[in-house]
């Protein structure tokens, strides 16, 4: 008999995970019930997965009032609702839950969830998807295998991409701390998770600097209008012109905006006129210098781990492309990574490209696919070794570091010390 999975939150992430379940695991997993506060989402998505009317819910309350409906649950709603919904899920009796990150920007909340999951014997997996890609697993293997000697330091950069940053962190869902989280937590808890995983030791101190440098009204060009398509005098020269990003530019149409169109209009299928109408008055058509955004557009974090390893994470909005880079040095060698290309130099010894079997299929799609494969294994009772699964315990580590970094940044970069064994 097939195992059953229900999904709360039918946006980009929820439907992507459902797509992978259907494409790769439909012989043993069935999507059972769906919940979203948007009727349109239920109407668009449920038929594709053959979920009947009686198993579609317009509120989490309704969904949970029916008790435990399936063997596992995916929660992919927006950031601020994660904790409350997950708490309800555990209290209702779900024992296997896949939760999107960030879990919460409030320490008591994410620690409370960890404790509740332990108490009720629920396995709460958080989608720190980067850890699941072969590329990062290979890096971990090389470090752990001692090929670069003792690990000394990690220098990791998240280049968000100027258009991606504008879409998500200036105009979109993650623009405002009160509505989501600081950009470091929202965008880089994955990166902090990787760094702590590589360092393999508790983080003992954190300091950070950064700010919202550019996307604010002081930087608006002369003649800027509230909406790009509303008579902006700088439209032809502004790289953030919404019409250019969402309608005209073929690169973004192909690679990024195709995926994001649903976000603009709330519809699964869009005509050009739907996009145009959304841009004329909606969030994504706004001038990037006149939004209600307050999250940092660049930030540095330095970390020291108990075993002496040091690390730097740099997050910035200002790159042409979206990609991550890392330079990991040990006493006997170094690893240099860019995108999914990895080079190993052993001092005085071998040097060259390392095969990672990580296909370059865009963003972290490979990690997403492997995360779902791991989730299905656990669901089907096959995964004996849970050491590399990113449970809420790993989340506490990355989130502690992110909150400490924010505390430091707001205090001019003064170090914040984490109790040994935490963070
Ligand atoms: N793991 C990753 O790499 C990764 C990448 C991007 C986003 N995310 C996270 O995934 C989550 C979802 O992101 P997204 O891009 O899919 O967002 P989205 O806005 O496209 O989807 C969220 C969906 O949840 C629904 N929803 C909101 N509140 C709800 C509630 N109380 N009950 C039921 N449904 C509700 C919305 O109507 C929407 O359909 C966010 O927390 C985001 O930060 C994670």
Tens digit of each residue's pLDDT (9 = 90 or more) over 46-68: 999 999 999 999 999 999 999 99
d(CA 230, CA 280): 7
Of the candidates 37, 130, 21, the one whose C-alpha atom is nearest the C-alpha of residue 81 is 37
Percentage of residues of the chain with pLDDT beyond 70: 95
Angle at 207 between CA 205 and CA 208, to 5 degrees: 155
The protein residue whose alpha carbon is closest to atom 33 in ligand 1 is 36
Q: Which of 76, 79, 191, 282, when mutated, tests ligand 1's pocket best, judged by the most ligand atoms within 8 Å of its CB?
A: 76
Nearest CA to ligand 1 atom 15: 12
Structure tokens at 263: 């976000």
The CB density around residue 181, as the number of other CB atoms within 10 Å, is: 26
Spell out, as residue ranges, where the chain has pLDDT lower than 70: 250-259, 358-363, 384, 420-423
Name, in order, each residue with C-beta under 8 angstroms of 379's C-beta and a sequence gap of 6 or more.
3, 5, 29, 71, 72, 96
377 phi and psi angles, rounded to 5 deg: -60, -45
Determine phi and psi for 419, rounding to 5 degrees: -60, 140
Cβ contact 132:374 at 8 Å: yes
Q: How far apart are CA 354 and CA 342, in angstroms?
A: 5
Can you tell me the distance from the alpha carbon of 25 to that of 11, in angstroms, rounded to the nearest whole number? 20
Report in angstroms the alpha-carbon separations of 108 from 81, 83, 113, 375.
15, 11, 9, 27
- CA–CA distance, 28 with 50 (Å, rounded to integer): 15
CA of 210 to the centre of ligand 1 (A): 26
Q: Report DSSP letters for 182-197, one per residue.
A: -HHHHHHHHHHHHHHH
Whole-number pLDDT of residue 335:
98
Give the binding-site residues of ligand 1, using a 6 Å CB cut-off: 8-14, 35-38, 41, 60, 76-79, 81, 100-101, 127, 129, 173, 186, 263, 364
| Top mutation candidate among 7, 8, 10, 13 for ligand 1, by most atoms within 8 Å of CB | 13
Q: Whose CA is nearest to atom 38 of ligand 1?
A: 11
Closest ligand 1 atom to 10 CA: 39
From 78, 104, 173, 182, give the residue whose CB has the most ligand 1 atoms within 8 Å, as the site to mutate.
Answer: 78
Tell me, in angstroms, the distance from the centre of ligand 1 to residue 6's CA: 15
For the entire predicted model, the pTM comes to 0.94
Which atom in ligand 1 lies closest to the alpha carbon of residue 367? 3
Question: Using CA atoms, how far apart are residues 100 and 390, in angstroms rounded to an integer?
Answer: 11
Inter-CA distances, 105 with 111, 195, 264, 398, Å:
11, 19, 26, 11
Phi and psi of 333, rounded to 5°?
180, 180
What is the rounded distance in angstroms from the CA atom of residue 214 to the CA atom of residue 39?
A: 37
- Nearest residue to 123 (alpha-carbon basis) of 70, 66, 72: 72
Q: What is the pLDDT of residue 423?
A: 45
The DSSP element (H or E) to which 268 belongs, if any, is: none
Alpha carbon distance, N-terminus to C-terminus of the chain: 41
- pLDDT tens for residues 250-275? 665 555 666 677 788 877 777 888 88
Instruction: Give distance in angstroms: CA of 80 to centre of ligand 1.
Output: 10
pLDDT at 268: 74
81 Cα to the center of ligand 1, angstroms: 9
Which ligand 1 atom lies nearest to the CA of residue 85? 31
Give the other-Cβ count within 10 Å of 280's Cβ. Answer: 14
């Amino acid at each position: 008999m097939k195992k059953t999975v229900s999904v709360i939150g039918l946006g980009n992430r929820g439907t992507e995970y459902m797509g992978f379940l259907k494409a790769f695991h439909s012989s043993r997993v069935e999507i059972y019930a769906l919940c979203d506060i948007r009727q349109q989402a239920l109407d668009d998505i449920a038929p594709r997965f053959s979920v009947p009317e009686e198993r579609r819910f317009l509120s989490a309350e309704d969904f949970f009032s029916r008790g435990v409906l399936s063997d596992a649950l995916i929660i992919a709603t927006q950031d601020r609702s994660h904790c409350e919904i997950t708490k309800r899920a555990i209290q209702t009796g779900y024992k296997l839950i896949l939760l999107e990150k960030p879990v919460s920007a409030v320490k008591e909340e994410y620690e409370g969830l960890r404790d509740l999951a332990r108490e009720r014997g629920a396995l709460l997996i958080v989608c720190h998807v980067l850890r699941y890609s072969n590329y990062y697993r290979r890096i971990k293997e090389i470090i752990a295998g001692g090929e670069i000697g003792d690990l000394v330091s990690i220098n990791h950069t998240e280049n968000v991409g100027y258009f991606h940053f504008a879409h998500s962190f200036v105009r979109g869902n993650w623009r405002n701390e009160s509505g989501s989280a600081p950009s470091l937590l929202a965008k880089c808890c994955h990166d902090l998770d990787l760094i702590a995983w590589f360092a393999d030791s508790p983080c003992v101190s954190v300091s950070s600097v950064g700010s919202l440098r550019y996307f604010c009204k002081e930087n608006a060009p002369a003649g800027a209008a509230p909406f790009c398509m509303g008579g902006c005098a700088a439209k032809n020269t502004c790289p953030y012109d919404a019409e250019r990003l969402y309608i005209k530019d073929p690169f973004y149409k192909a690679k990024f905006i195709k995926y994001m169109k649903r976000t603009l209009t709330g519809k699964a299928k869009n005509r050009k006129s739907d996009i145009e109408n959304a841009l004329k008055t909606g969030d994504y058509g706004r001038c990037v210098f006149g939004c209600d955004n307050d999250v940092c557009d660049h930030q540095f974090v330095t970390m020291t781990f108990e075993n002496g390893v040091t690390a730097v994470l740099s997050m910035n909005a200002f790159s042409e492309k979206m990609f991550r880079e890392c330079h990991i040095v040990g006493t006997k060698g170094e690893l240099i990574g860019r995108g999914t290309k990895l080079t190993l130099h052993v001092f005085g010894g071998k040097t060259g490209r390392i095969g990672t079997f990580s296909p370059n299929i865009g963003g972290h799609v490979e990690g997403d696919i492997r995360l779902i494969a791991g989730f299905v294994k656990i669901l089907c009772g096959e995964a004996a070794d849970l050491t590399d699964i990113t449970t809420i315990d790993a989340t506490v580590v990355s989130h502690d570091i992110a909150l400490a970094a924010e505390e430091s940044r707001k205090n001019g970069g003064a170090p914040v010390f984490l109790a040994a064994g935490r963070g």
